[in-house]
Structure 1
């Protein structure tokens, strides 16, 4: 057992090293200009070792984005919950996530494209849970338990619906980032998801939040 644990620890360390070095190269010289051979050389590992962890460069970016998403979600869990309702909690979680997307559009676009490719190729199992998705699942489940949202629809289906909405908005924004404010549009998606398309007195309001990204 100790030997297995050491092996898994080395694998994790190698994975993190690859991600760290690759992202540094992407930032310094661009994603397209960086090659797998260069990443392997900088990480001082064989190409085969790199491929054992990541089949393509896009997979490295996706892993990095997922790590960031997990870190943001965990930070959100550690903060005292001062949100009065599910709309506020859901908006706060997504606003933090998409502040990161706004600051890192290239990486977000590469990761999203890679996930879409996996899905269309029938490899959706590679699309592991993200921190944002996990946090949304928790918030929606808590909302059901508190009687804030309907309980006759499984949380899994609710998350899928909001995933589809937010995914389409992000893809549209990535095509033309001057078309609309991403986080404001995400807030409208939260409103539409929770309250539907009918006229409501209560509306989710979006305010620009200063973020240290």
Structure 2
């Protein structure tokens, strides 16, 4: 199956699919190459039991209200396997589910994008220890608005070479907590391009990264 999109703000609309006897439906959904799950439909994700070697073109998760992800937040960290996903985007409260997701150890993701327009979308983030969310390898990492707060929580593969890191903060409130960090205390690793937008330029000194030049030379970044 090429693509499936499920979205509902009414739990009764998806209750039948969540029943244990519908494992065949879960298996069918889990074979989609592209998948979008919104609001209560996110409840399907833990049921899919995606094999770690499964390859998916894209996965988009969004939750506008905290109750839509309440059950997922009660799960253990790294308990929801995603297999190999080329593009992963989390929006709104779905950003808070990131610690629950399990990434493939060596697969290089094309893009990981997080967007949190409001502070309540990242309410659970301060409870997470720094360097505890394994995100492995990716070519492009995009953090928009309050999602920037999650940056110190990441644990990136030591061998990763990122093509671009995009940090987008159009309000000073988006970077308040990052500004409290020590200089060069947020490890990024090797990256070819760092693109801070608007207020995000103020936190560049907090990042510890090695800049890879076009001729593959290495320079200390974050200065």
TM-score with structure 2 setting the length = 0.25
TM-score normalised over the length of structure 1: 0.26
Query: Based on CA coordinates, which of the two structures has the bigger radius of gyration?
Result: 1
Higher helix proportion, which one? 1
